[in-house]
Amino acid sequence: MKLLLTGANGYIGARLLPVLLQHGHQVVCMVRDARRFSESSEYTDKITVITGDLLKPETLTEIPNDIDAAFYLVHSMGTSNTNFYDLEQECASNFTNAITQTKVKQIVYLGGIVNDEQLSVHLKSRRNVESILQESGIACTILRAAIIIGSGSASFEIIRDLTEKLPIMITPKWLQTRCQPIAIRDVLFYLEKVLGKEETYNKVFDIGGPDILSYKQMLLTYASVRKLKRWIITIPVLTPKLSSYWLYFITSTSYPLAKSLVDSMRNEVVCKNNDIKTILPHICFSYREALELAFVKIEQNSIISSWKDALNAGLLTGDFMNQIKVPINGCYQYKVFVEFDRNTQEVKNNIWSIGGIRGWYYLNWLWVLRGYLDKLFGGVGLRRGRRSPTDIRAGDALDFWRVLLADDNYKRLLLYAEMKLPGEAWLEIKILERNGKNFLSQIATFRPNGLWGRLYWYLSMPFHLFIFNGMARKIIHLPNL
């Protein structure tokens, strides 16, 4: 089938794309800025990228006429604009006006469960979008989900922030509200399987996992999975506004998103229509299993979650990994950005040769000391070295790092720390070209786990100042092996 995928750069869209490709579909990815979309794989001939802004109907003329089905995966929940209800209505209207000019036979929309009588503005908006799509005259398949559990999703990140940071929580009463979470993998299963299935045309389905839990139970289950002791006390005095500020300051979400989430969390989001199970029999992951998959399989990286399974199956090339993004929520970063005149390939060779016998270029004795300390506390230390002095690829061990990405074309190396840390750490080194000049970009990212994690970051800042600046200079100037 030839499919239109709106929101291809978004959380769901980025994960859905490889699933659609693996099932043999041709995909037209619609994005607002094509520069943010990058792919190169065995499936390149099955992907077309077009630009279009749903708030600007004049930009939607590139939508092909011969598409068979379209995914509508656009929403404005996290926008700072207070009129996101109107924005979503305008986007949906412009979409339907454009899509009705094509030969499309089916629209697939992922919305929210709206079974409560008094809905939040966010959930009212989702239902309003449903109505607009249904009025288009095109067969619509509406999937309604509650909280989606997957690394990188807003819900998962908030659950993680709250549980990791707070041993004792004084929480608002909406933590007693029930919901029915669903794993991202199950959402992707349903989105792909309803394509072309006429039994799902012009129907609405609730999709959810096997567990019905309160938000309090979800936090405590997360704590159990992470082997953390947590105590939660709910009180009735926190107003929605205070609850939004509480969520905003404790977690790393934006205030508009926190406000939308708090507003929606007052609504019970539990499946009532289970007809999808008859049409598409499927055993969904439990909430606990979804959490474990988020940590074991996707290591807090939303794009890795999509492409990693395919790479393991040998279906996609490593170039797909160029879309890997380091988490931002709840993270600290130290950045070094240096202009250089040397040949970029020579500088890239030094990046590719870092670690192992050659060391970390600057104040290497401190890296060695860190390796001994890591071993002392049960970590891997520096004993693993590297597979080759000059060759490096995704999946390699590099001292106490794991290589997530080694992209020759984009000259980008991304490492994930496997040392003992009170948190998680990433190190990204890449070469950029800006206005005809070359720059070395080096970003150390750390996501702390509680107070000790924050203390660790601030205590290590003086070392970062010397080590990473010195390392950047050496990468630029050292001779190649």
**DSSP code for 394:** T
Q: Are 44 and 112 in contact (CB under 8 A)?
A: no
Tell me how far the alpha carbon of residue 159 is from its chain's centroid.
14
pTM: 0.65
- The rounded distance, in Å, linking the Cα atoms of 263 and 433 is 44
Residue with the two structure tokens 């060391």: 359
Tell me how far the alpha carbon of residue 30 is from its chain's centroid.
19
Instruction: Tell me which residue of 299, 298, 301, 306 sits closest to 327, measured CA to CA.
Output: 301
pLDDT in tens, 193-249: 999 999 999 999 999 999 999 988 999 999 998 888 989 888 876 666 776 766 666
Beta-carbon neighbour count of residue 342 at 10 Å?
13
Report the relative pairing of strands 47-51 and 26-31 from DSSP bridges.
parallel
Beta bridge mates, 71: 5, 108
pLDDT in tens, 248-305: 666 655 566 666 666 667 778 889 988 999 999 999 999 999 988 877 654 443 333 3
Of the chain, the percentage scoring pLDDT greater than 70 comes to: 83
The token pair that represents 370 in the structure block: 């860190």
pLDDT in tens, 393-448: 777 788 888 888 888 888 999 998 888 889 889 999 999 988 889 999 999 999 88
Q: Which of 210-214, 342-346, 388-392, 454-458 has the lowest mean pLDDT?
A: 388-392
Asked whether residue 7 carries a pLDDT value surpassing 90, the answer given is no
- The rounded distance, in Å, linking the Cα atoms of 75 and 63 is 19
State the average pLDDT over residues 376-397.
77
Question: Phi, psi at residue 147, to the nearest 5°?
Answer: -75, 130
Q: What residues have CB less than 8 Å from 349, skipping those under 6 apart?
A: 390, 480, 481
